[in-house]
Amino acid sequence: MPQTPAQADAFRSLARHPLKFRLFLLAKLPAAYFSGLRITALDEAACTVRVPFKWFTQNPFRSTYFACLSMGAELSTGALCMAPVWKRRPAVSMLVVGCDAQFFKKATGPTFFTCADGAAISAAIDRAEATGEGQTITCTSTGRNGAGETVAEFRFTWSFKAKKP
């Protein structure tokens, strides 16, 4: 049985409650928890994640460490993947199978990563369930600074496969 809208809403609800989401990060993604990542917007179509600029996320060059930028970018795509597979029956597994990044500007303040591939992600998950075969999709997350300038662009390739009931 495919996921119900209530199950997808349960994940989005988790992301909208700061304390619940922080506990989720602490339990499942501790590096993201300690880095201070926050989901600032999440719906069926898009997700935006804030990567703070603080002592814990800085490199020796007084900019945000690329691994912290990568975590934020991955979370912006991963949250869009997790919402449709959350408590889905039969379960659908998800895995990052590729990553590519380009850096355009030094990140010297908070960076906001946005992925707007929600519809394509949901379609890939539905195809994986309908066909029983693995499906892949490449999602783009663009990071911008407070002035709206592009800092980095990440492309994550996700794989989905429906598990046998």
Is the pLDDT score of 4 beyond 70? Answer: no
Sign of CA dihedral 82, 92, 116, 123: negative
Architecture (CATH level 2) of domain 5-162: Roll (3.10)
What Cα–Cα distance (Å) separates residue 160 from each residue in 56, 89, 126, 131?
33, 14, 9, 11
Predicted pLDDT of residue 25: 86
pTM: 0.89
- pLDDT tens-digit series, residues 9-47: 666 666 677 788 888 889 988 999 899 999 998 888 999
Is the pLDDT score of 6 beyond 60? Answer: no
d(CA 92, CA 86): 9
- pLDDT tens-digit series, residues 101-147: 999 999 999 999 999 999 999 999 999 998 989 999 999 999 999 99
Predicted pLDDT of residue 164: 79
Residue pair 49/75 in contact by the 8 Å Cβ criterion = yes
